[in-house]
Amino acid sequence: MAFQDIEAELKNFEEIERQKLGLEKDPQKNQWQDKINREFYADQREHTTILVSGLTMAHDRFVQAGLEGLGYKIKALDCPDTDSLQFGKEFGNKGQCNPTYFTVGNLVKYLSNLRDETGMTPQQVVEKNVFLTAGACGPCRFGMYVTEYRKALRDAGFDGFRVMLFDASGGMNQTSGKEVGLKMDKEFFITLAKAIFAGDALNAIMYRIRPYEVVAGSTDKAIEECRQTIMTTLKNKKSILMALRRCRKILNGVEVDRTMVKPKVSIIGEFWAMTTEGDGNYKLQRFLEQEGAEVDIQLIVNWILYNIWQAKTDTKSRMVLRGSDDKARKGLKTTQIAKKFLTLKVAEMALKGTFYTFAKFLGLKNFKLPDMEENAELASQHYNNELRGGEGHMEVGKLIQTVLHNKAHMVISVKPFGCMPSSGVSDGVQSVITERYPEAIFLPIETSGDGAVNVYSRIQMMLFKAKRQAEKEYEDYLNLKI
């Protein structure tokens, strides 16, 4: 058979298949396009539920309560589990990272339950719900999350579902002239800040108390009571500091035994993987506590401090780099540089001051937020501060700071399987750090939704070293006291 005959037969077969599938002859017309629906207006608030998810359960529930106090209908989704992972893999693109599958699948699972268990039609689900999530750009698939949400939702039967980016620069602006459904104004951001600070402080003190509780489960019971207290306060727009003071009394009622020797394990790595409390990281925090460790978590406030550091650093660089459109000898001609630096400095001081105030009222003592300048300086010797994928240089700096300041006995870097920014750091750069600081007990682990047994086994082996180190420190202290 001649080549021309084979080609003609293939074209004929292709045409028949296209007709069966109802496809256009022009391949470009068959490409999937991201149809963005941002139509959420004030007159829809009464019958529209805003779904939130992505942080710890404390943060998500506090955000729900705070926004309910502003008059919105809010629903915090449950922590993503293995069922969410299966939904994500079924309807999401192939080759995505772990957080994408879990978070996308968690939303699809919830909407599918609304359709299948409550009797709502897909159209009613689309009309009565909106999902609010964070958005960003950079050398990471995180920038494609919102597109992944829309693609998976369409394939799951919820075409046109509104996914709104949490973007203060205008991610929810509309040009119809109608009042927007979610007003990102001063009151909104103050409420959001209260929820974040309260969630950070409560989580930090929880992980300090629970490993040393005398009565099993007493910490969880007290924490749940505190969560309800804070949620009621945020919803009713009452004093959050007074609520934290009441929580302090509740937590003081938990009996603890601080003489128990436990290694402290710091969890760092990719933001979502180290923050989630469910199957997305094999319930890492709970597992470490069950194995006899105290967990040192990373707070959301740390990420905000990192963003402030980025703004200051970029301004310093840009003020002496002349762009193609700059009329001045140096860059940023139209920017009041001194005012911008002052604004960033005030923002940093206000953030730290507010968090430490929350911590004081809650009873969280001797807690120190990371020094971002020191972090950047220490990391710069091994990792370029201009590389901003994932947590950028922060992960490198965190490990060095932990060793230099003796902040923890062991450090675990957790990241999704195939996470390019985090894997390049934890599997590459950190190996150099551990050679320079051989006393560091460092373990990088990857999460993929399965393989928990292998991960647990590796953690147990390294945790044995950390326990021996903690016991030696305790013995040395007792000998010193004698």
Q: What is the CATH number of domain 42-183?
A: 3.40.50
Average pLDDT over residues 46-68: 93
Enumerate residues 6+ apart whose C-beta is below 8 A from 201.
244, 355, 358, 359, 362, 364
Instruction: Give the integer Cα–Cα distance in Å for 357 and 412.
Output: 29
Instruction: Give the integer Cα–Cα distance in Å for 392 and 24.
Output: 44
Q: Over 60: is that where the pLDDT of 171 sits?
A: no
Amino acid at 389: G
Higher pLDDT, 112 or 46: 112
List the single range of 27-31, 143-147, 467-471 with lowest mean pLDDT: 27-31
Same fold: 42-183 with 261-299+372-482: yes
Burial class (CB in 10 A: 0-12, 13-18, 19+), 439: exposed
* pLDDT range class, residue 322, cuts 50, 70, 90: low
Higher pLDDT, 93 or 144: 93
Higher pLDDT, 16 or 195: 195
Instruction: Give the integer Cα–Cα distance in Å for 135 and 142.
Output: 8
* pLDDT range class, residue 386, cuts 50, 70, 90: confident
Domain ranges of the chain: 42-183, 187-252, 261-299+372-482
- Choose which CATH entry (3.40.30, 3.40.50, 2.60.120, 3.30.70) describes domain 261-299+372-482: 3.40.50
* Helix, coil or strand: residue 190: helix
Q: What is the greatest pairwise CA distance in the chain?
A: 96
Enumerate residues 6+ apart whose C-beta is below 8 A from 357.
241
Enumerate residues 6+ apart whose C-beta is below 8 A from 78.
106, 110
Which pLDDT belongs to residue 137? Answer: 55
pLDDT digits (tens, 9 = 90+) for 82-113: 999 999 999 988 777 888 889 899 999 999 99
Q: Over 90: is that where the pLDDT of 204 sits?
A: yes
Which pLDDT belongs to residue 326? Answer: 57
322: left (phi over 0), alpha (psi -120 to 50) or beta: beta
Average pLDDT over residues 214-239: 97
* pLDDT range class, residue 304, cuts 50, 70, 90: very high
Select from 36, 45, 37 the least CA-distant residue to 181.
Answer: 45
